[in-house]
């Protein structure tokens, strides 16, 4: 991970403020969802992107009846559909 040189303290409710420079750089807008997870001893924040309902892949997804499905899973579903000769 690359250090940004930015340091922020937690407030009394455990909140931090992400600096506007970082939000702009990362393409984070007001009301965007932020994913929080642990990676070893690090806490990682990243802009949340909904993933495929089957495999979790976040890239190359399409919305089908309100659910995200990646292109690979779409192709697999099509090849296994009845009458397609799997």
Residue spans of the chain under pLDDT 50? 86
Q: Using DSSP, state whether 17 is helix, strand or coil.
A: coil
Q: What is the pTM of this model?
A: 0.56
Domains and CATH numbers, the chain: 1-48 (2.10.260.10), 50-86 (3.30.60)
Tell me how far apart the alpha carbons of residues 4 and 31 are, in angstroms, rounded to a whole number.
23
pLDDT at 11: 96
pLDDT at 84: 60
Tell me how far apart the alpha carbons of residues 5 and 20 are, in angstroms, rounded to a whole number.
14
Summarize pLDDT for 14-32 with one digit per residue, the tens: 999 999 999 999 899 999 9
pLDDT at 86: 47
């Amino acid at each position: 991970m690359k250090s940004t040189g930015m340091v922020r303290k937690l407030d009394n409710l455990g909140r931090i403020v992400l600096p506007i420079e970082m939000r702009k750089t990362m393409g984070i807008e007001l009301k965007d969802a932020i994913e929080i997870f642990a990676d070893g001893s690090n806490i990682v924040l990243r802009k949340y992107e909904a993933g495929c309902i089957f495999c979790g892949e976040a890239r190359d997804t399409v919305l089908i009846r309100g659910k995200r499905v990646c292109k690979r899973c779409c192709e697999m579903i099509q090849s296994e559909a009845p009458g397609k000769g799997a």
